[in-house]
Amino acid sequence: MGREARTITVNRKAYHDYLILDTIEAGLVLMGSEIKSVRAGRVNLRDAYAREEKGELWLFNTHIAQYDAASYNGHEPGRPRKLLLHKKEMRNLAALTKQKSLTLVPVRLYIKGGVAKVALSLAKGKKQYDKRETIARRDQDREIDRAVKDRNRR
C-alpha cells in the first residue's frame, strides 16, 4: 500500500514551451530549511532544467524560498540541487540529451512518502508555430465541448 503523492508545484510553462517525450522520477537532495519551504509550497520551477556534471545530475534555476523560521545559516534560494537516480538511468538521460539535443525539464515537484521527488521529462523545444498550433487546438476542443454541452441541455 503506497502512500499518495502530494503535488507541491507543476511547471505549466514546460508544457507550453516543450514537447514532453518521456518522464522519470528522481529524488532531490535538500537541506532542512529547504524541505520545510517545499512543504509550505514556496517553490518555483518555471525556468528550471537538469544537466549532467561530473557524472551526476543537477537541477538548476529552481527557486526554493528562504524558510522564515530557519537560522541565519539557512539555504541559498537558487542554488543547484543534486538529483538522485540510478547510475544507469543517469547515463541514459545524459546520453539522450547530448545525442538528440533534448532537454531535461522538471515538470512536477511532489512529496511521496515524506520524501521530495521531482518528475523529470525529456523534452524537445517547441517552435513558435507549434505553440500557436497547440493553443488553436485547445480552443477548438473547448468550442466542441461547449457545443456538445449546449446540445445535451436541450
**CATH value at residue 67:** 2.40.280.10
Give me the pLDDT at residue 1, please.
44
C-alpha cell at 14: 514546460
138 within domain boundaries: no
Give me the pLDDT at residue 39, please.
85
Give me the pLDDT at residue 70, please.
67
- Tell me how far CA of residue 119 lies from CA of 25, 31, 71, in angstroms: 5, 19, 30
16 within domain boundaries: yes
28 within domain boundaries: yes
59 within domain boundaries: yes
133 within domain boundaries: no
Give me the pLDDT at residue 142, please.
92
Beta carbons within 10 angstroms of residue 75's beta carbon: 20
136 within domain boundaries: no
139 within domain boundaries: no
Phi, psi of 5 (to 5 degrees): -85, 135
Instruction: List the beta strands (DSSP E) in the chain.
Output: 5-10, 18-28, 43-44, 49-53, 56-60, 63-64, 81-84, 103-112, 115-125
C-alpha cell at 112: 511521496
- Residues whose CB is less than 8 angstroms from the CB of residue 46 and which lie 6 or more positions away in sequence, other chains included: 11, 13, 63
**Tally of structural domains, the chain:** 1
- Tell me how far CA of residue 50 lies from CA of 3, 60, 64, 92, in angstroms: 27, 6, 15, 14
- Tell me how far CA of residue 132 lies from CA of 103, 138, 146, in angstroms: 21, 10, 21
**pTM of structure:** 0.74
37 in Cβ contact with 66 (< 8 Å): yes
Could you give the CA distance from residue 22 to residue 3 in angstroms, rounded to a whole number?
A: 23
User: Which residue range(s) make up the domain with 71?
Assistant: 5-126
pLDDT in tens, the chain (154 residues): 456 788 888 888 888 888 888 888 989 988 887 888 888 888 888 888 888 888 888 889 888 887 777 667 766 777 888 889 898 888 888 888 888 778 889 998 998 888 889 999 888 887 777 778 888 888 999 999 888 888 887 7
132 within domain boundaries: no
